[in-house]
Structure 1
Amino acid sequence: MDNSSRTFEDLVAEAAAVSVDGWDFSWFEGRATEERPSWGYAKAMGERLAGARAALDIQTGGGEVLDSAPQLPPLMVATEGWPPNVARATALLHPRGAVVVASPEEAPLPFAAEAFDLVTSRHPVDTHWAEIARVLRPGGTYFSQQIGPASAVEIVEYFLGPQPEERKNARDPERARAAAEAAGLDVVDLRAERLRIEFFDIGAVVHFLRKVIWMVPGFTVDAYRPLLRSLHERIQVEGPFVTHSARFLIEARKPA
């Protein structure tokens, strides 16, 4: 069905009912697009995992990104804090010999010091640099793609209004560099890009805000129905709603 001819209520009801478990974005096919960073995180992560002996993936989500790696090291551990994702990641990664550990995001990592020669993380909510430095072996590496400053700010401000500069700039890559160095790590690579996102129908917006829950905290269809309806009408008249994601890649090494 051509989504442009569907009603507001139909699109919203569908998007409100679909599962948002895991970190699979295939539901957006044909309904939204997002440019990808030029560095190709998943491929680069896979190359590093292939050469590791013991690796840890922090905040693995449903395990989809880690599972994309062609080869996992002899010891592969992943942590995740949200119970539905723990179950999903366990089902996906256990057959490959990886261990999934339920660990709250704000808690210390439940591992001994110098346990891993590689730590990875894609889009962590927070980065606990001191803990990462603690569990890395000397010479070990932290490799991560993270959300940058003012990511998707256009959609956030549509629903929440103008945001404080402090919130918009909280994920500045240079802050990450400083925090990594304060934890005793050497930053060997730091790159940042802004990337175009287009939403072709209001259902895609609803699904995005239900899945990426930190964009509009406490989002529900009922709470934002008038704004959603106005945005639906705007998309029908003007075309896709455009926003921009911010991403940065950071690679930091523990001195040998």
Structure 2
Amino acid sequence: MNELVYRNFYERCGSLNGWDFSKVRSASEGAKWDFYHEVSQRCKKSDILLDIGTGGGEALLSITEAALLLVGIDSSVGMLEAANANLKSSRISNVRILQMDADKLDFPHEFFNVVSSRHAPINSEEVARVLVDDGIFLTQQVSEDDKINIKNAFGRGQSFGIQDGTLKNNYITELREAGFHNIQAFDCDATEWYQSYEDLIFLLKHTPIIPNFGQSENDFAILDKFIGEHKTKKGIMTNSKRFMIIARK
């Protein structure tokens, strides 16, 4: 999925559900961390936090007690509408939601103590610029082998055919070149079970796992076959592979 297609997809999803998958019935086993818990644990009460690609803001709003001020940015109008609606209904006062591109952060130098990004692209040089000295950057990204059995079934998918670990290594190189040190990387490959056909359909419709899923009638035949081969007592089995990087400026 090229960048333009992904941006259009992301915008559409933002308008529909703000990247909120809370209603999807699924179970997971083997997850090694909760990303926003890791972010909150590295914040002080006096810190200012930037969250890049905040989406509908649901995750950011769950850690508002961790820092003095939390700023979420996203390039998608649809996502921002969802995030601002969530912020308004929460009545939380120490969060700001702004439209901004990660490649050009419109903030002063050394403005933030902590910067986070979950499943969103970042510009390492811009992150370094807006972080204070000794500030911390955390990112969680989707690994190439995520949902690998689904991608194999369709013969296509997000990062399909790319060696697992490529994106992680690219991020590490870029962060090092931007001046970060003490760069730590962690991998996690958890097992997931989706309770029903409808839950898996929602996932595929609202993520880029299988680009343009459902636009071909054959997609549903492939999915039916996949479910038949991977349905267990716990649900329809797949995997969730992620990596996390924590770096200090």
Interval of TM-score (by shorter of Structure 1 and Structure 2): 0.7 to 0.9
Contact in 1 for aligned 2:118/2:139 (Cα 8 Å): yes
Label 1:237 to 1:190 Cα distance change in 2 as closer, same or farther (>3 A): closer
Among 155, 164, 172, the alignment partner of 1:160 is 155
Q: CA deviation at 1:192?
A: 1.0
Which of the residues 82, 93, 100 maps onto 2:97?
A: 100
Aligned position for 1:191: 186
Q: Is residue 253 of structure 1 aligned with residue 242 of structure 2?
A: no
The structure number with the bigger radius of gyration is 1
Q: What amino acid does structure 2 have at the position aligned with 1:122? A: R
In 2 relative to 1, CA 52–251 (structure 1 residues): closer, same or farther, beyond 3 Å?
A: farther
Deviations 1:142-167 (A, max 9, x none): 02222223111211221235976436
Q: Provide closer, same or farther for how the CA distance between residues 222 and 138 of structure 1 changes in structure 2, counting only shifts above 3 A.
A: same
- TM-superposed CA distance for 1:189, in Å, is 2.7
Q: How many corresponding residue pairs? A: 230
Task: Give the TM-score, by structure 2 length.
Answer: 0.80
* SS, match of residue 72 in structure 2: strand
Which residue, 17, 39, 59 being the options, matches 1:21?
Answer: 17
Please give the root-mean-square deviation of Cα atoms over the aligned residues, in Å. 2.7
Shift of 1:71: 0.6
The gaps in structure 2 that reach 5 residues or longer are: 1-14
Residue 76 of structure 1, aligned match among 67, 70, 77: 70
Q: Is the 8 A contact 1:55 1:117 kept in 2?
A: yes
Q: Offset at 1:229?
A: 3.4
Between the aligned residues of both structures, percent identity stands at 24
> Alignment partner of 1:207: what SS?
helix
Once the two structures are overlaid, the 10-residue window that deviates more, 230-239 or 156-165, is: 230-239
Amino acid corresponding to residue 123 of structure 1 in structure 2 = H
Partner of residue 41 from structure 1, selected from 28, 31, 35: 35
User: Aligned residue for 1:54?
Assistant: 48
Aligned-residue offset at 1:58: 0.5
Gaps of 5+ in 1: 1-18
Residue 63 of structure 1: how far off its partner (Å): 0.7
- TM-score, normalised on structure 1? 0.78
Deviation at 1:101, TM superposition (A): 0.8
